Chain A
Amino acid sequence: MSQTNPIAYDSKVEGNVIFTRVDAAINWMRGNSLWPMPMGLACCAIELMAASSSRYDISRFGAEVMRFSPRQSDVMIVAGTVTYKMAYAVKRIWDQMPEPKWCIAMGACASSGGMYRSYAVLQGIDNLIPVDVYISGCPPRPEALLDGLMRLQHKIMGEHAVEDQKRALAETL
């Protein structure tokens, strides 16, 4: 995944001054401070914990601040089997998260129900909330979660939130 630096900062030339676009700056800040809402529902949560501990160290990507309050979270990591009994609770927590927000479906169960073709299990959390990144595996290794997080960061870097807002504002005026 090649990626050009949206900030284009060269300290030798520019000193303390940075030229960039507002979108790029905001996306850079958002992408590198993704505070997860750890929706640990099954064994994937164990790998999620491993990803945040020292060997894998998810804080290298700015996502170490596990917030157990949805109001302080940016990305919901749905890690585990979503039963129908839990489904609306996950939805409710997702609705309480402020925009902008993203969702990672971690593992087979959260992505598609996994091996639970059952009366009791929701067949993928994307039935209820929009998912940005799906991570395969049962459970995925922490490296896979980190890869998913980097893909989400890459996706965030390409967003045009402010540009779209400006265009919408100009149209209304």
Chain B
Amino acid sequence: MTANDIVSRLREKFANDILAENDFRGEKSLSLKMESLVDVCRCCRDELGFDYLVDITSLDHFGEYPRYEMVYELYSMASGVHLRLKALVADEARPSVPSVSSLWPTADWHEREAYDMMGITFEGHPDLRRILMWDGYPFYPLRKDFPLQGKPSDVPDVAFTQPAPLAGGPFVTIPTDGTTQVREPRARRAGDEPLHDKFIAEP
């Protein structure tokens, strides 16, 4: 079964739920309505042979509406076909998505990661906890409005965070003839004044 066959089968069955279709070098992407996501996934697994959920990712279209989007990467071991399913998350304040962990057990940890990093909750998930950051960490670091250097936080006896010294960007060097410490503003701590001119003036 080729990717085209699979897409046409899905189009027959879910004619009203597939909003858009994209083809990039033979890889098919389908944009779905969120309500039909689990039904499409179940059809893909049971009838079309997608026995492997490669990954679940979430996108943050910051400044647009709807803001969040889920992406599911499916793979069929038998036919060697990739399929990408996408669905926009309607509610921006409390983004919530139906869980597919009942279909593919591997979705458990993928959805925990999306919950941890993007703050999207999954209805029907058996064990929705943070997976990388610790319980009590108050932010969702992969959201676009989360600064790269982080924010201060403190959970007593568990962990704390401090903003990292970025000096204007993640990898900034100052054009100067000075020493390595002068060239590398990151050698200074967060909160230090960025006294670039002063340092450039030094030999």
Contacts and interface: CB of A to CB of B under 8 A. Distances in A.
Interface of A: 84-85, 87-88, 112-113, 116-121, 123, 127
Interface stretch (B38-46, B95-103, B155-163): B155-163
A84 B161 CA distance: 6
A123 B164 contact: yes
Contacts of B133: 85, 120
Contacts of A87: 159-160
Given A84-B159, A84-B161, A119 B134 contact: no
Contacts of A123: 162, 164-165, 189-190
B194 to A, nearest CB: 14
Given A84-B159, A85-B134, A87-B159, A119 B165 contact: no
Instruction: State which size class the interface on B falls in.
Output: 20 to 34
A112 B164 contact: no
Main secondary structure of the interface of B (DSSP, over half): loop
B77 interface: no
Nearest to A114: B186
B165 A117 contact: yes
B81 interface: no
Interface string B140-180: 01000011111100000111111111100010000000000
B187 interface: yes
A120 B165 contact: no
A120 B134 CA distance: 11
19 contacts: A84-B161, A85-B134, A85-B159, A88-B158, A112-B187, A117-B166, A117-B170, A117-B186, A118-B148, A119-B147, A119-B148, A119-B149, A119-B151, A120-B132, A120-B133, A120-B141, A123-B189, A123-B190, A127-B162
Nearest to A116: B164
Contacts of B150: 118-120
A118 B160 contact: no
B146 A84 contact: no
A39 to B, nearest CB: 17
Contact of B159 (A88, A113, A118): A88
